[in-house]
Chains A and B, each alone.
Chain A
Amino acid sequence: MSTTTPGPLQQTSPTFVGMPTFPKAARAALGNTQQRKNLRHATATIRGKRARVVAEVPEWEALRVAGAEAKDEALTHLGDYLEQLEASLVANGATVHWARDAQEANRIVLSIVRSKEVDEVVKVKSMVTQEIELNEALEAAGIHAWETDLAELIVQLGHDRPSHILVPAIHRNRSEIREIFLREMGTVGRPAPDDLTDDPGRLAEAARLHLREKFLRAKVGVSGANFAVADTGTLVVVESEGNGRMCLTLPETLISVVGIEKVIPSWEDLAPMLQLLPRSSTGERMNPYTTMWTGVHEGDGPQEVHVVLLDNGRSHVLADRVGRQALRCIRCSACLNVCPVYERTGGHAYGSVYPGPIGAVLNPQLRGTASTIDKSLPYASSLCGACFDACPVRINIPELLVELRGQVVEQEGRTAESAAMRAAAWVLSDPKRLAGAQKAAAAAGRVVGTRTVRSVPGLGAWTNARDLPTPPPESFRQWWARERGEDDR
């Protein structure tokens, strides 16, 4: 832990305040058999794709190290690189804004949009604008924010919440998507064709037609960024469908909201990142489209370019020497796809826009562990370690989960469990006490005999899913003393 005063925590948005604990939300999700089926199919597919393209790269481990080092270099000298990024952006004609929290970022975006006298913006899929709930802020001010990524469109039209970082509608299958398109597209623009089938090609075509008119007329685009290069001032957006290119190229004004942890030090650091991200994320050698822009390019694309640099809890995470590695995250979602817990519960149970293993460490760090959901997230894992193996920037998620569990326990003070653990520590720290306890257990064991202990009063939650091992009639030390007949201490 650092000794300096860390930045403030992120405020949990009203959407997630009062969320049930993870186990409670997970139990509800597990009852949804359709969703479990959709998730199992989708995560298995993408795991296979990722494994194939990662196996093609003999230097994969060296790449992971290079990726982690690039992010660590940026994070440990973040003040310097942020100032350099700002200077590079300004030198290339961009306007840079700084936002301490979600409210401030939304206020900045809203004031730019208002100054353009428009009532709509087109949006590139962006985790950070979900985090700050920009769409809700814009809608409240009477401005439509059109999501243009196919999965985001499905979520938006379905009045739903995203459940995966990369494939936000992973919990929906094709026939559900067809129904949403038929029912909702006409209410906000060009309706879906009457003869729409649930063929994915036809569904994608319907989205193409529905969104094209919005792309062609939009005056303002809103995006995030996958990377922000400090030494050149270049922003990078990695995507597949071309909706990103549309939003980044066609509008006259572009506003990009960028978390301060997105900075990478130099242009050359793009090399490992562009090798790591697509293979980890969609399981492709390279994603179909990547756009890189550096401020304003005369006669090409938006002629007014704004960049909003956002803190919103990140400086708080940065102050923790162990926890700061979570800020390396490039939002690839590989950890979600390999997680046995995520595969069964889906993303909604995590109570945040960041689900899965990375969400289980990032949310309690960004928002603190005061709420019931954030308190329960560090336990949303079996600590199997698959997430660490899959992480392209080597975030040791299991290590962070254990750290956070420790924090939650400290903060909770005395509970039955902590009293039991303290008693156990007292017994185990002295051989005489241990021998005494073993004798007592053996006596209890002789009473129980061969019966199985299925529940113990006061330990209901623990013994719900576990049988207690029957105490042996004799401890090893007792057996040793009896057989060898010496020194029964």
Chain B
Amino acid sequence: MSARDEILARVRGATSDVVTTPDDRGPVPVVEETSPGGPETLELFAENVADYRAQVVRVGPSGVAGAVADALREHGCSTVVVPRGLDHSWRRALEDVATVLSETEAATHHELDAVDAVVTASAVGVATTGTIVLDHRPDQGRRELTLVPDTHVCVIRADQVVHDVPESVARLRPGPDGARPLTWISGPSATSDIELERVEGVHGPRTLVVVLVAGADS
């Protein structure tokens, strides 16, 4: 008997006492904190992102390009890689402060390792946990782009921020066009492996800047 058939037979034998079928359970129950309101959710998101020592910058829609450029300047980044779908106006603003490389110009791991920063959009934000989720669409780029450079500047719109984890999971369910890879990011890379003392910055970006875009421009 193949290993597959043998394991399945063992498992079915082990559960022969079970009388229900997989469909009996019905829909998965949702346990979540409900949003007290849009502005409160956004406040909580900003608070929790900052609590895990990411830097939060709040701007109106016309302020994004300036904010991403300022972030690079502030952290002394002279080279930046950008995904191919990034907003053109942001990219132009970056060109004033750093050498801008497109995804294809940092194609190998070693080329990417020589780059200081990456600027991306994002997919979903979660307020109760201070999390940003990337689904690596063209405005976020392939996964290694936001992993190897030491500074990640990430732009998220207010309408992308949900209150609790279940809503985020629901939004990210793989659709008919196929599953996307997902990266859930809560603060910069960290470890507590030495005497349970939290240290920011191990292998992922040691600096995370979150640009939160809300409201209308006056």
Residues of A within 8 A of B (CB): 2-7, 38, 41-42, 45-46, 57-59, 62-63, 66, 69-70, 73, 75-83, 86, 92, 97-100, 104, 148-151, 154, 167, 169-170, 173-174, 177, 200-201, 203-205, 207-208, 211-212, 215-217, 232-234, 240-243, 245-246, 249-250, 260, 265-272, 274-275, 278, 282, 284-295, 297, 299-301, 309, 311, 315-316, 318-319, 321, 324
Contacts and interface: CB of A to CB of B under 8 A. Distances in A.
A2 B14 contact: yes
Interface stretch (B57-65, B69-77, B93-101, B191-199): B191-199
Nearest to B185: A289
B28 interface: yes
Contact of A4 (B6, B8, B13, B204): B13
Contacts of B17: 2, 321
A11 B193 CA distance: 31
B203 A100 contact: no
Contacts of B27: 268
Given A82-B8, A241-B204, A289 B189 contact: yes
Contact of A289 (B31, B166, B204): B204
Contact of B15 (A97, A271, A318): A318
B3 to A, nearest CB: 4
B10 A311 contact: yes
B160 to A, nearest CB: 16
A270 B144 CA distance: 24
23 contacts: A7-B10, A42-B196, A45-B195, A62-B31, A66-B29, A76-B15, A77-B21, A82-B7, A98-B2, A104-B3, A149-B193, A150-B193, A151-B193, A154-B193, A212-B113, A243-B203, A265-B25, A285-B52, A286-B126, A289-B186, A291-B183, A294-B180, A315-B14
B40 to A, nearest CB: 15
Contacts of B29: 66, 69
B190 interface: yes
Given A63-B31, A80-B22, A241-B189, A260 B7 contact: yes
A242 B12 contact: no
Interface in B143-200: 143-144, 147, 165-166, 169-170, 173-174, 178-197, 199
Q: Taking each of A284, A289, A311, which has the highest tally of chain B beta carbons within 10 Å of its own beta carbon?
A: A289
B164 to A, nearest CB: 8
A232 B202 contact: no
Interface in B40-72: 48, 52
A83 B147 contact: no
Contacts of B202: 150, 204, 207-208, 240-243
B88 interface: no
A246 B143 CA distance: 10
A265 B22 contact: yes
The interface residues of chain B, by DSSP majority, are classed as loop
B12 A100 contact: no
A204 B201 contact: yes
A87 to B, nearest CB: 12
Contact of A294 (B7, B22, B131, B181): B181
Nearest to A149: B193
A249 B143 contact: yes
Contacts of B122: none
Interface residues of B, number: 73
B151 to A, nearest CB: 13
Interface of B: 2-4, 6-8, 10-18, 20-22, 25, 27-33, 48, 52, 109-110, 113, 126, 128-131, 136, 142-144, 147, 165-166, 169-170, 173-174, 178-197, 199, 201-205
Contact of B192 (A154, A208, A212, A240): A240
Contacts of B203: 148, 208, 211-212, 215, 241-243, 245-246
Contacts of A46: 192, 196
Contacts of A169: 193-194
A99 B7 CA distance: 8
Contacts, number: 273
A299 B142 contact: yes
Contacts of A59: 31-33
B15 A292 contact: no
B123 to A, nearest CB: 12
B13 A77 contact: no
B144 A266 contact: no
Given A216-B113, A297-B180, A300-B136, A274 B165 contact: yes
Contact of A167 (B6, B28, B193): B193
A397 B128 CA distance: 30
Nearest to A320: B14
A79 B15 contact: yes
A486 B84 CA distance: 99
Contact of A232 (B113, B179, B199): B179
Given A98-B4, A149-B193, A318 B204 contact: no
A99 B16 contact: no
B103 to A, nearest CB: 10
A79 B16 CA distance: 11
A77 B28 CA distance: 16
A80 B143 CA distance: 32
Contacts of B147: 242, 245-246, 249-250
B14 A319 contact: yes
A216 B173 CA distance: 31
B194 A272 contact: no
Given A100-B6, A208-B201, A289-B185, A241 B174 contact: no
Contact of B18 (A38, A77, A309): A77
Contacts of B204: 241-242, 245, 288-289
Given A265-B22, A272-B31, A301-B181, A309 B7 contact: yes
Q: Taking each of B21, B166, B192, B197, which has the highest tally of chain A beta carbons within 10 Å of its own beta carbon?
A: B192
B145 to A, nearest CB: 9
Contacts of B13: 4-7, 315, 319
A204 B204 CA distance: 12
A321 B16 CA distance: 10
Contacts of B12: 79
A207 B203 CA distance: 9
A312 to B, nearest CB: 10
Contacts of B126: 286
Contact of B14 (A4, A70, A100, A300): A4
Contacts of B190: 240-241, 288
Contacts of A7: 7, 10-11, 13-14
